Amino acid sequence: MEFDASFWRKVVDKSLAAIYITDENGKVLYVNDVVERATKYSKEEIYAMESIFELAHPEDRRYLKREFEELGEEGRFYESRYITKDGRVRHVWGFTAKFTFLGKSYIIGNWIDVTKSKELEQALRESEEFYRTLVEDSLTPVYLLQDGIMVYVNKAFEEATGYKREEIVGRNPFFLIHPEDRGLVYKRYIEREKGLRDTMETYSWRIIRKDGEVRWVTARPGRVTYRGRPAVAATVVDTTEIHKLNIELKKKGEYLAFVNKVMRHDIANAITAIRAVLEIVRDSPEEAEKLIPLAIRRSDYVFRLINDARELEKALEELKPVNVAEMVREVAEQFRNVEVSVEAENVVVSANEGLRAVLNNILQNAMVHGGGKARVEVLANERNGIVRVIDYGKGVPDEIKEKIFEEGFTTGEGMGLGLYITKRILEIFGGEIKVRDNEPSGAIFEIKIPKIKEEG
């Protein structure tokens, strides 16, 4: 079947794409019906224009003229804008090429309107830019994690961890997590990325900053899709101060519970005993010589309990840098027959005046139970400041080495709570105390408190 020229003209006129033909200078010779409807200009108005470039957006005319000048028969794709008769800007994607007919050169082109796509692209771009700016400039750290590798972190994340973006992105980031929390955090991440945890959760863990400082963070991770695959995104809040406050409140609560117990039990019992002695003495004066010393010992015991509670209260004060060697020398001056040996002059730990009570308690214990003389050694290892109080008495039997630090343990009347208080104070400092045998006789009480890292 053969089709004549009128058939093909109808096909072109009714085409969905805009079609135009110009001479080699751009003068419009033909446009189909779509061009007329799209531009709002009649065909006659378009034919009357000097060139097709009058339809183009002013900012695109130079680019289009250059494209037309470089045209060949192979043609070119282009993207540009035109302005309708009523002033609206439309986006098109087109193709144009040169051809020769009856010895003359012409240009044929067609375009499709992509304005809606461009508007969507622009809206998406603006939305992405908005959220990117919102996230990037947020005061809250944000991260995106996929396949165990950090994909994105914002500026606040850099500030929170002390690491630059290039030191984190592209790496497994779990080196940031405190070793004691790493396993749990990694397990939850894997479960979330695999979709085993559908709901968002808020939980806390510790991180280790680049400078070595340990900080608490609270995060709300959620499963997202990034580049077609599951990932985990989260916002993070530094909650170190809240955790510190909770710890302080817990310490104070334990202290108040301890004081309450001392008041209700130990002191009440001692006062009851003193009252009983006084009543007996009142009714039987001849018993005074035998019973009054007992009342005095009970009174001394009450004073020691009060002093122990006061020393524990001191340990609840704000921690600060303390030079262990200096404090040991100051405390040792109050005792006779105490030799001080210092291997590390500047052992600085995080403590307070509670440490003075610890040293006083241990030295007092050494004087009373350790043969009347003692030696104190101050040294340090990579992590801790160490104080060893060495005495030369009978020592501490193996079966009670752990018990002597327990609340309420006593080997006789009037022992107070000295060693129990000592252990509690050191725990507040993050330290510990242990006792072992001295050779050939006596005991060694060893105290360890984490050092403060030296600057530079």
The predicted structure's pLDDT at residue 264: 65
209 and 176 part of one domain: yes
Domain holding 247, by residue range, is 243-316
Asked if the structure places residue 212 within a domain, the reply is: yes
The predicted structure's pLDDT at residue 332: 87
The tally of domains found in the chain comes to: 4
38: CATH = 3.30.450.20
Which residue in the block uniquely carries the two structure tokens 């700016």?
A: 133
Domain boundary pick from 316, 343, 369: 316
341 and 448 part of one domain: yes
Asked if the structure places residue 211 within a domain, the reply is: yes
Distance in angstroms (rounded) separating the CA atoms of residues 108 and 131: 43
pLDDT in tens, the chain (456 residues): 455 557 667 777 777 788 899 998 889 999 988 889 899 999 999 999 999 999 999 999 988 888 888 888 788 888 889 999 999 999 988 888 888 888 888 888 888 888 888 887 777 676 666 667 777 888 889 999 999 999 999 999 999 999 999 999 999 999 999 999 999 999 999 999 988 876 767 889 999 999 999 999 998 898 888 888 999 998 888 888 888 777 777 777 766 666 666 666 667 777 887 888 788 878 787 777 777 787 787 787 777 667 766 766 766 777 889 999 999 988 888 888 788 877 877 889 988 888 888 888 888 888 887 777 888 999 998 889 999 999 888 888 888 888 888 877 766 544 456 788 888 888 888 899 999 999 888 899 999 999 886 544
Asked if the structure places residue 120 within a domain, the reply is: no
Asked if the structure places residue 366 within a domain, the reply is: yes
309 and 324 part of one domain: no
333 and 446 part of one domain: yes
The predicted structure's pLDDT at residue 124: 67
Are 445 and 436 in contact, with CB atoms under 8 Å apart? Answer: no
263 and 145 part of one domain: no
199 and 154 part of one domain: yes
324 and 444 part of one domain: yes
The predicted structure's pLDDT at residue 255: 65
Contacts of 208-216 with C-beta under 8 Å, sequence gap 24+, read: 208/176, 208/177, 208/178, 209/160, 209/161, 209/162, 210/161, 210/162, 210/163, 210/167, 211/162, 212/453, 214/178, 215/160, 215/240, 216/240, 216/242, 216/243
C-alpha to C-alpha distances, 329 to 257, 339, 342, 432, 449, nearest whole angstrom: 34, 9, 9, 21, 17
Show Cβ contacts of residue 5 under 8 Å, excluding neighbours closer than 6 positions. Answer: none
297: CATH = 1.10.287
Angle made by CA atoms 198, 204, 207, in degrees to the nearest 5: 120
324 and 421 part of one domain: yes
141 and 197 part of one domain: yes
With 0.75 as the threshold, say if the pTM is over it.
no
Distance in angstroms (rounded) separating the CA atoms of residues 141 and 359: 44
395 and 293 part of one domain: no
Asked if the structure places residue 282 within a domain, the reply is: yes
Asked if the structure places residue 170 within a domain, the reply is: yes
Beta strands in 200-317 (DSSP E): 203-208, 214-226, 229-238
Distance in angstroms (rounded) separating the CA atoms of residues 90 and 368: 98
The predicted structure's pLDDT at residue 417: 66
Show Cβ contacts of residue 121 under 8 Å, excluding neighbours closer than 6 positions. Answer: none
Distance in angstroms (rounded) separating the CA atoms of residues 84 and 356: 88
343 and 446 part of one domain: yes
Asked if the structure places residue 24 within a domain, the reply is: yes
